[in-house]
């Protein structure tokens, strides 16, 4: 009974809040981070997830608390401390899989674990409601010193069988893939609205110590990871508060205190010579290089989004190393188990060589789509002291290609004809090394034109108004420069870090590729002279992405960009035959009266620059004349601006090309 009476007295005192006083204390509890999202993958991180949606995370919370009265019923409350928002989001996917030759229902789990150790500041206003109850409302601001993520995709079902293939198409013997980890992009700051309910109970009669249970919920305002990913915090915990008690006033007596004796001052005089500061001025300007080579001021970067279709011709050849019959590793080959993963869309923007290096996959997919088709593989050798003496080398090269199609793609052997010969039917010149290496190959032909037909991939294309960024540095100093450093970021993504002793260079180029976010590009230059003076110069370049949706909303001019590549020209000729004629028919069908057409002829490194320039001009003009359009810009560039790697046989074949770009306005 006595204990109950004491508690009743304490509780009654807790309800009397007419004299709110400052409070200071420590809070401990548990936090739950509720993650809501709508994205398929983090920026620049490969992912096959159809879309992440939600997840949670559980973490301890420890924070210091301070409160100061604003009125008889309001307090300013500030919390500062450790309040993580870590968690895990996952998504299950149910694909159809081939296991042991049998189609079964599978289950993949896509998962991202994110570590968000946060230093959080919560300024809130606390209102006394009734009795011991208070309601707090305000914001929660969090900084993440080292945000990190860990991603993986795992086979959940079947639980005892099934593995992924590696990028080369071989069995990885692993039930996980897309395993990546690192620093979480665009995740340095988080803001949320917070609302809390708490009750204050005194722990002693003087009310100098208070026990405060509380719960708080939050709604995240900012995204993390540079995608549509928000975190909503929930917290429950206990706070112990200390508040000062009323103190008795101090009374001073009337006794007179004699003044201290006066001590004569001894003045010492000396002189200090203060040197004048050494002058140091620093400037930093952003420029971009025009097509003519001059530098223009770069005030902003506009990323323009257009509809685009890539049309790529397939080079019907597979090249081999000298004296070798193994298919080089640069050729990608997957199995039919990967058909749901492999699609033409993933080839968009990869360039003609990347499309070509998937030739085995393309043939495998197309032969399965056209079950009556057949192909002929003709193995060839370069007749020299090594390849001529290797018995059956040409046939083994063709057989290896056949065996891969049979084993990996399930193509019936009787649909693949294997032949062998020495030089190809249309050989390259044997007078130089490049030509000889081009003759070590397997030629591919088919009775069905669709097997080796053009590769057409449609997607949106983003191009930048600036192809490069050049920073111009100006330094004026009365004395020697001792050191300098330069940092450049796009949001939180680091583009460049450079520095050294002595003076900085007058120009620095920044590696730049079109960003997919509108984060401004920031550059910071620090220069120090031998007088110890330091100056900082900064430059910020805004970035705007003009998406198709924005263009439609603003009724801006939309356009479609189609790109085509003509290859397999006869040696030294500009005639348009075979596959090139089919490509021209396709281009003509896509050109409209309002279209503009750019034609550029290119060459590889073989032969003289003068001859190649003339030949590429003839080929470009032949294509332009065949298209019969009033707005055509056709030029040959010879050996300038070679598009592909000349060290590879296929690179040289694709360098002997005419590129056609068709831009067509689209009504919004």
Tens digits of per-residue pLDDT, 51-107?
899 999 999 999 999 999 888 788 899 999 999 999 999 998 887 666 655 656 778
Length of the chain: 668
Does 664 have pLDDT greater than 90?
no
Contact 125, 70 (CB under 8 A): yes
Average pLDDT for 424-447: 92
Total number of domains constituting the chain: 4
**pLDDT at position 504:** 92
Measured CA to CA, the distance from residue 589 to residue 560 in angstroms comes to: 14
The single-letter DSSP state of residue 414 is G
**pLDDT at position 574:** 74
**pLDDT at position 556:** 55
Domain assignment present for residue 213? The answer is yes
Tens digits of per-residue pLDDT, 225-277?
989 999 999 999 999 999 887 544 444 444 454 555 554 444 444 444 445 55
Domain assignment present for residue 144? The answer is yes
Q: For residues 335 and 20, which has the higher predicted lDDT (pLDDT)?
A: 20
Q: Pick from 186, 215, 242: which residue ends a domain? A: 242
* Same domain assignment for residues 87 and 144: yes
The CATH number that applies at residue 367 is 3.30.1330.60
* Same domain assignment for residues 401 and 502: no
Burial class (CB in 10 A: 0-12, 13-18, 19+), 513: exposed
**pLDDT at position 5:** 36
Q: Classify 472 as helix, strand or coil.
A: strand
Q: Which of 384, 315, 309 is nearest to 347 (CA)?
A: 309
pTM: 0.47
Does 524 have pLDDT greater than 70?
yes
Which residues constitute the domain of residue 374?
Answer: 314-449
Share of the chain above pLDDT 70, in %: 82
CB count, 10 Å around CB of 54?
A: 13
Does 458 have pLDDT greater than 70?
no
Tens digits of per-residue pLDDT, 596-612?
999 999 988 888 888 88
* Same domain assignment for residues 522 and 576: no
Average pLDDT for 16-41: 84
Query: What's the token pair of residue 238?
Result: 């206990």
Share of the chain above pLDDT 90, in %: 39
Specify the long-range contacts of residues 489-492, CB closer than 8 Å, at least 24 apart: 489/521, 489/522, 490/515, 490/517, 490/519, 490/520, 490/521, 490/522, 490/543, 491/185, 491/186, 491/226, 491/517, 491/519, 491/520, 492/185, 492/186, 492/187, 492/188, 492/519
Tens digits of per-residue pLDDT, 364-409?
989 999 999 999 999 999 988 788 877 899 999 999 999 999 998 9
* Same domain assignment for residues 165 and 285: no
Q: Classify 157 as helix, strand or coil.
A: strand
* Same domain assignment for residues 40 and 64: yes
Domain assignment present for residue 139? The answer is yes
Q: For residues 565 and 141, which has the higher predicted lDDT (pLDDT)?
A: 141
Q: Which of 523, 521, 509, 507 is nearest to 474 (CA)?
A: 507
Mean pLDDT across the chain: 83
Contact 384, 394 (CB under 8 A): no
Tens digits of per-residue pLDDT, 129-153?
888 899 999 999 999 999 999 999 8
Tens digits of per-residue pLDDT, 313-350?
889 999 999 999 999 999 987 655 554 445 555 565 56
Core vs surface per residue 336-361: b (16+ CB within 10 A) or e: ebbbeebebeebbeeebbebbbbbbb
């Amino acid at each position: 009974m006595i204990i109950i009476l004491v508690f009743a007295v304490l509780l009654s005192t807790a309800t009397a809040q007419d004299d709110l006083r400052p409070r200071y204390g420590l809070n401990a509890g548990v936090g739950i981070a509720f993650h809501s999202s709508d994205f398929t993958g983090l920026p620049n991180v490969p992912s096959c997830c159809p879309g992440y949606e939600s997840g949670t995370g559980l973490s301890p919370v420890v924070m210091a608390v301070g409160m100061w009265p604003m009125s008889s019923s309001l307090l300013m409350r500030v919390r500062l401390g450790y309040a993580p928002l870590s968690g895990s989001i996952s998504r299950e996917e149910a694909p159809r899989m081939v296991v042991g030759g049998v189609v079964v229902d599978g289950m993949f789990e896509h998962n991202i674990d994110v570590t968000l150790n946060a230093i959080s500041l919560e300024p809130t206003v606390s209102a006394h409601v009734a009795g011991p109850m208070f309601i707090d409302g305000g914001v929660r601001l969090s900084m993440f010193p080292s945000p990190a993520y860990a991603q993986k995709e795992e086979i959940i079902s079947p639980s005892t069988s099934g593995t992924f293939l590696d990028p080369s198409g071989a069995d990885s013997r692993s039930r996980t893939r897309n395993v990546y980890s690192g620093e979480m992009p665009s995740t340095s700051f988080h803001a949320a609205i917070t609302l809390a309910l708490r009750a204050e109970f005194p722990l002693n009669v003087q009310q100098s110590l208070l026990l405060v249970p509380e719960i708080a919920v939050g709604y995240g305002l900012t995204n993390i990871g540079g995608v549509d990913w928000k975190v909503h915090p929930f917290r429950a915990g206990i706070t112990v508060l200390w508040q000062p008690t009323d103190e008795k006033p101090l009374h001073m007596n009337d006794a007179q205190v004699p003044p201290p004796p006066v001590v004569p001052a001894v003045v010492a005089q000396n002189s200090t010579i203060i040197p004048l500061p050494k002058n140091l001025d620093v400037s930093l300007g952003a420029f971009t290089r025009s097509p003519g080579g001059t530098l223009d001021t770069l005030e902003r970067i506009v990323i323009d989004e257009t509809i685009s279709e890539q049309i790529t011709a397939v080079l019907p050849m597979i090249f081999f190393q000298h004296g070798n019959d193994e298919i080089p590793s640069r050729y990608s080959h997957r199995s039919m188990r990967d058909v749901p993963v492999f699609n033409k869309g993933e080839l968009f923007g990869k360039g003609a060589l990347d499309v070509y290096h998937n030739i085995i996959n393309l043939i495998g997919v197309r032969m399965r789509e056209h079950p009556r088709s057949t192909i002929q593989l003709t193995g060839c050798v370069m007749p020299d002291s090594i390849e001529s003496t290797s018995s059956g080398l040409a046939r083994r090269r063709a057989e290896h290609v056949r065996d891969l199609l049979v084993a990996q793609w399930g193509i019936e052997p009787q649909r693949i004809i294997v032949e062998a010969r020495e030089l190809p039917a249309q050989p390259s010149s044997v007078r130089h090394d490049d030509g000889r290496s081009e003759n070590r190959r397997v030629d591919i032909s088919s009775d069905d034109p669709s097997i080796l037909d053009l590769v057409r991939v449609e997607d949106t294309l983003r191009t930048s108004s600036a192809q490069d960024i050049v920073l111009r540095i100006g330094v004026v100093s009365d004395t020697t420069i001792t050191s300098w450093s330069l940092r450049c970021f796009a949001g939180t993504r680091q583009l460049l870090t450079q520095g050294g002793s002595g003076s900085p260079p007058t120009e620095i180029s920044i590696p730049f590729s079109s960003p997919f976010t509108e984060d401004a590009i920031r550059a910071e230059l620090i220069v120090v002279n031998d007088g110890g003076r330091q100056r900082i110069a900064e430059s910020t370049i805004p970035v705007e992405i003009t998406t198709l949706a924005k263009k439609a909303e603003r009724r801006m001019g939309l356009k479609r960009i189609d790109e085509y590549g003509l290859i397999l020209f006869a040696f030294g000729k500009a005639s348009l035959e075979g596959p090139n004629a089919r490509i021209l028919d396709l281009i003509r069908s896509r050109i409209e009266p309002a279209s503009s057409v750019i034609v550029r002829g290119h060459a590889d490194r073989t032969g003289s620059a003068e001859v190649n320039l003339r030949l590429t001009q003839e080929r470009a003009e032949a294509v332009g004349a065949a298209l019969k359009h009033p707005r055509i810009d056709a030029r040959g560039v010879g050996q300038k601006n070679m598009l592909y790697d000349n060290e590879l046989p296929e690179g040289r074949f694709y360098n002997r090309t005419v590129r056609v770009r068709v831009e067509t306005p689209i009504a919004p």
